Structure 1
Amino acid sequence: MDWTHVMAELDAHLSDEKIGRDVETFFEEVGRRLELDDGEVSFPPETLVHVEERMLVRNPEVRGGGYLLVKAVLKPLFEDGKYTGRSRLGTLKIMYDFEGRWLDEFYSRPS
């Protein structure tokens, strides 16, 4: 099966720019900080967002039959212009419905 068309539609529906705007809106809504069990993390204005992955998840138990999952790296570290796989602020995984509406988020601290 050729998934090229499906992936192109996914990229068009959830562009890096849209995801960046959505993350910025999320930061503003939480006062640019999250309280976690072991403290708090702050997100400075204009935090760089690097979209590392976009996933299409089929789940018949979810309304619409699935969701879109995006892994966004916050303040990514680059070396020689290439993403190193590390970040200063961790990752934000975002669930979207199939119409591109934000459903939920999951924050992970940098390792």
Structure 2
Amino acid sequence: MIVAGFGFSSSATLASLRTVLELAAEGQNVNALATVADKAGHAAIAALADATGLPVHFVPTDDLAEQRTLTCSPRSRATYGTGSVAESSALAAAGHGARLISPRQISDDRLATCAVAIGGHS
């Protein structure tokens, strides 16, 4: 399974998420979206799921810190205990043995990040 993970601010829009998804997932056939569970009520992720027809996995905060990331955002580290919410969400949702195939990419408006991981058993 190929999962696109997202980190984003409360002011992120569907356009922010869609743009960074296209950047991070270029050439990949993404099967699911993922983000941290406390973003479950955000309209932009729901709109992206509707627009793409992909399911969203909401990753518990504790599962983020268990993931090794390639990049490090001081804000993500302070808030969630991980270097990248996008990378950690993608890895956690892709399952045991997952690896990143696209590290965290940042939207032009700097409101969203996206990373893509592939499951260890794909």
Structure number with higher strand proportion: 1
Give the TM-score taking structure 2 as reference length.
Answer: 0.30
**Bigger CA radius of gyration:** 1
Instruction: Give the structure, 1 or 2, with the largest relative contact order (CA under 8 Å, sep 6 or more).
Output: 2
Give the TM-score taking structure 1 as reference length.
Answer: 0.32
